[in-house]
Amino acid sequence: MNTLFAIALVFVGCCSNVVFLELLVRDFPGCGNIVTFAQFAFIALEGFIFETHFGRKKPHIPLSNYVIMVTMFFTVSVINNYALNFNIAMPLYSASKYLSIMLVSLGIFICTIMSAKQVSVEKGATEEDGFYAFMHWILGIAMLTFALLMSARMGIFQETLYKKYGKHSKEALFYNHFLPLPGFLLLSTDIYRHAVLFSQSLEIPVIGQSVPVMWLYLLMNVITQYVCIRGVFILTTECASLTVTLVVTLRKFLSLIISILYFHNPFTAWHWVGTAVVFLGTLLYTEVWSSIRAAMKGEKADKKAE
């Protein structure tokens, strides 16, 4: 039951989060730092109040282990959001399990690269500009790939800690967001600059008050991110790291599809190919084919018995 609940949180939270993230980056493509800071600050504050009871509750897992986990988590979060500056469309047991992950990743790659090509065409870039834009995009893809690998490694590390110290997903969620906060001092200039830009954005009425629309988008992004990351941390206590990686990767694919549909971006034949490959990889991972074959063998055995 906890597993299904966690998966629901991941898909609902993360897929709605991507809509508000794209609304933010469409006007301010370099706003990744302020988005990351707002997410970390909100989740850290919530955990400080409700998980640690204002610092009175001691952690079950030693802080030295959290420092290692936090280093990986902070790196993944910053790189994921900073990669938005590189024209990325908004959008890891047995051998069959690894093959399924490769298929899902291939499907996402196909969809992403086709969306990136459309961005270049729409901007009317020259051949030379297109080359530099493509190399810029490749750098962004490399950053996301590194973040995905780092995220998978962090999942394995979390799995090891939970086996040794027990499952404490809310505690891990708090320390992973609280400990890195001083690191944002290095990004303070950029965060302040975007805070000023957000305050100068179009104002809309909210409960009788005029609120800059970008701050409203940021608030909704932070809330949906909390729902998403809460689901991910619950999932790490219930499933193997490879399963968690698959769920997160599928979520990213679904977010890409929602982005394409919601913002009326073109959905080409290559996007359908990528979708089919992701679907095939998912079926392979969940061993649907094995279940179908087992059911068919059972039916044949029943007929012979009759």
Q: What is the pLDDT of residues 8-40, one digit of tens each?
A: 898 899 888 888 988 898 889 889 899 999 999
Angstrom distance (rounded) from CA 169 to CA 173: 6
pLDDT digit string, tens, across residues 180-221? 899 899 999 999 999 999 999 989 988 888 999 999 999 999
Angstrom distance (rounded) from CA 296 to CA 304: 13
In this structure, the number of other CB atoms found within 10 A of the CB of residue 55 comes to: 8
Angstrom distance (rounded) from CA 126 to CA 103: 33
| 306 SS3 class | coil
Partners of 203 in beta bridges: 212
For residue 237, is pLDDT > 60?
yes
- The one-character DSSP state at 28 is -
For residue 29, the model assigns a pLDDT of 83
Question: What are the backbone angles phi and psi of residue 58, rounded to the nearest 5°?
Answer: -80, 145
Q: What is the pTM of this model?
A: 0.69
User: Helices H, strands E: what count in the chain?
Assistant: 11, 2
Q: Largest Cα–Cα distance of the chain, in whole Å?
A: 78
CA distances from 10 to 18, 40, 248, 257 (A): 12, 17, 8, 16
